[in-house]
């Protein structure tokens, strides 16, 4: 397979095309603009549809319509745009439609800034939109991983009939790295979606809906959805461990921050500090089991995030009070350096 040098945003777009996505609806926002730009020429090339919507609200509702009509469909945005999409995401989850949503996070709140951030963790993994819903959230830390996870995201979405989010940050979106595209899916080979609204020829009508006026029925529906989320919890746990074999202290970090943290682990190891890294790849479901198991060897944890501290709450839940969990965060678009993280680790080690 040929290696090509690509910007993260464009690599994600190409991965979606390779995954058989033929419909893309989006609205410009930095730092993800290369993604719709790439789709605007690539979609027509493969006989697909690119449409620049009038807003993020419209874009996600176009995704809803296209997903309900049976298509593999994607949208992308960045933080303020994702906030606008949340109503639609809740409807998509409620109506059980598969789609892929890319969030190339920037710093907030409000209009915030355009530099990388991880401050949308809560929004992504705790619902964000209204009602009890969940979606699989995957966080790449390299451009290659962004490609692989995007391709997988379409499979996961179809399997569960649920939205899947790729939670990247401005760094992953803007960075150029060599990537390999391992496979290409022909949308015509995909299994037919018997539930889709494509005209009721020779069958009963299909209805795409999330309305249940009878509370008993809605409760039943929410239990059905929850069974799906429980299955996700069993099957979709993804994480990577770095130098954890003999570690006595661990950093927990995801995405770009995890990548920076591997350097901090190397610096610590040079100084004889037994540090390792746990990198959650699926943020929902959160790989709580591996963290819980690690408490038998790990004495202290440091969670590093580009936020004021969000994932740290899930780590604390997993550790369940058995060990201290510390936090180091940069925010506003500031990115921590390996040296900075190492100095926090040194202090904790000596404490």
Partner 1 sequence: MKIVADYPESLTEKEFHYCPGCTHGLIHRLIAEVMDELEIREDTIGIAPVGCSVLAYEYFNCDMQEASHGRAPAVATGVKRVHPDKVVFTYQGDGDLASIGTAEIVHAANRGENFTTIFVNNAIYGMTGGQMAPTTLKEQKTSTSQSGRNLQESGNPIKMSEMLSVLDGPAYIARVSVHDPKHIIKAKKAIKKAFQMQIEKKGFTMVEVLSTCPTNWGVSPVKALDWLAENMLDVYPLAVYKEVE
> Which spans of this chain sit near partner 1 (rule: CB under 8 A)?
23, 25, 49, 51, 53-55, 57-59, 61-71, 73, 87-88, 91, 95, 197-202, 205-211
Interacting residues of 234 by C-beta distance below 8 A, sequence separation 6+:
none
Query: Smallest distance, Å, CB 70 to partner 1?
Result: 7
Query: Smallest distance, Å, CB 19 to partner 1?
Result: 17
| CB-nearer residue toward partner 1: 212 or 239 | 212
223 by DSSP, 3-state: which?
helix
DSSP line for 107-131: --STT--SSB--TTHHHHHS-SSSS
| CB-nearer residue toward partner 1: 76 or 117 | 76
Query: Smallest distance, Å, CB 100 to partner 1?
Result: 14
CB atoms within 10 A of CB 211: 11
Query: Six-digit token pair at 272?
Result: 């004889």
**CA dist 9 to 16, 163, 243, Å?**
11, 19, 30
Query: Six-digit token pair at 219?
Result: 């409760």
Query: Smallest distance, Å, CB 93 to partner 1?
Result: 12
How far, in Å, CA of 208 to CA of 61, rounded?
A: 13
Query: Smallest distance, Å, CB 108 to partner 1?
Result: 23
Rounded to a whole number of angstroms, the distance between the first and last alpha carbons of the chain is: 49
Query: Smallest distance, Å, CB 75 to partner 1?
Result: 10
CB atoms within 10 A of CB 331: 16
| CB-nearer residue toward partner 1: 214 or 246 | 214
| CB-nearer residue toward partner 1: 71 or 348 | 71
73 by DSSP, 3-state: which?
strand
206 neighbors 196 (Cβ within 8 angstroms): yes
How far, in Å, CA of 278 to CA of 301, rounded?
A: 10
CB atoms within 10 A of CB 95: 16
Q: What are phi and psi of 75, to 5 degrees?
A: -135, 160
| CB-nearer residue toward partner 1: 1 or 200 | 200
Q: What are phi and psi of 20, to 5 degrees?
A: 95, 10
| CB-nearer residue toward partner 1: 102 or 319 | 102
Query: Smallest distance, Å, CB 284 to partner 1?
Result: 23
How many residues are listed for the chain in this entry?
351
| CB-nearer residue toward partner 1: 210 or 331 | 210
Query: Smallest distance, Å, CB 58 to partner 1?
Result: 4
Q: Which residues pair with 26 in a beta bridge?
A: 52
Query: Smallest distance, Å, CB 210 to partner 1?
Result: 7
| CB-nearer residue toward partner 1: 95 or 335 | 95
Q: Which residues pair with 275 in a beta bridge?
A: 249
How far, in Å, CA of 145 to CA of 139, rounded?
A: 9
| CB-nearer residue toward partner 1: 202 or 321 | 202
């Amino acid at each position: 397979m040929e290696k090509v040098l690509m910007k993260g945003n464009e690599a994600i777009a190409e991965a979606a095309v390779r995954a058989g996505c033929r419909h893309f609806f989006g609205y410009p926002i930095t730092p993800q603009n290369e993604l719709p730009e790439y789709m605007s020429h690539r979609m027509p090339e493969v006989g697909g549809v690119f449409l620049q919507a009038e807003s993020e609200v419209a874009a996600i509702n176009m995704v809803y319509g296209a997903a309900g009509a049976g298509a593999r469909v994607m949208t992308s945005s960045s933080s303020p745009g994702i906030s606008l999409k949340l109503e639609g995401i809740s409807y998509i989850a409620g109506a059980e439609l598969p789609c892929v949503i890319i969030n190339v996070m920037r710093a907030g709140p409000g209009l915030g800034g355009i530099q990388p951030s991880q401050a949308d963790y809560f929004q992504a993994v705790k619902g964000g939109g209204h009602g009890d819903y969940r979606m699989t959230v995957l966080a790449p830390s390299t451009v290659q991983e962004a490609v692989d996870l995007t391709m997988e995201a379409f499979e996961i979405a179809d399997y569960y009939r649920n939205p899947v989010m790729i939670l990247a940050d401005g760094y992953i979106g803007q960075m150029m790295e060599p990537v390999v595209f391992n496979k290409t899916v022909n949308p015509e080979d995909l299994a037919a979606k018997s539930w889709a609204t494509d005209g009721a020829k020779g069958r009963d009508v299909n209805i795409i809906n999330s309305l249940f006026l009878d509370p008993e029925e809605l409760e039943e529906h929410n239990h059905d959805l929850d069974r799906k989320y429980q299955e996700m919890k069993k099957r979709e746990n993804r994480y990577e461990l770095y130098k954890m074999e003999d570690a006595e202290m661990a950093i927990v970090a995801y995405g770009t921050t995890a990548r920076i943290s591997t350097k901090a682990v190397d610096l610590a190891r040079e100084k004889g500090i037994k540090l390792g890294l746990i990198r959650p790849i699926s943020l929902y479901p959160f790989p709580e089991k591996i963290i819980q198991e690690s408490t038998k060897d790990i004495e202290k944890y440091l969670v590093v995030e580009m936020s004021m501290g969000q994932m740290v709450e899930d780590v604390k839940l997993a550790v369940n009070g058995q060990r201290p969990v510390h936090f180091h965060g940069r925010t506003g678009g500031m990115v921590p350096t390996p040296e900075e993280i190492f100095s926090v680790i040194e202090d904790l080690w000596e404490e």
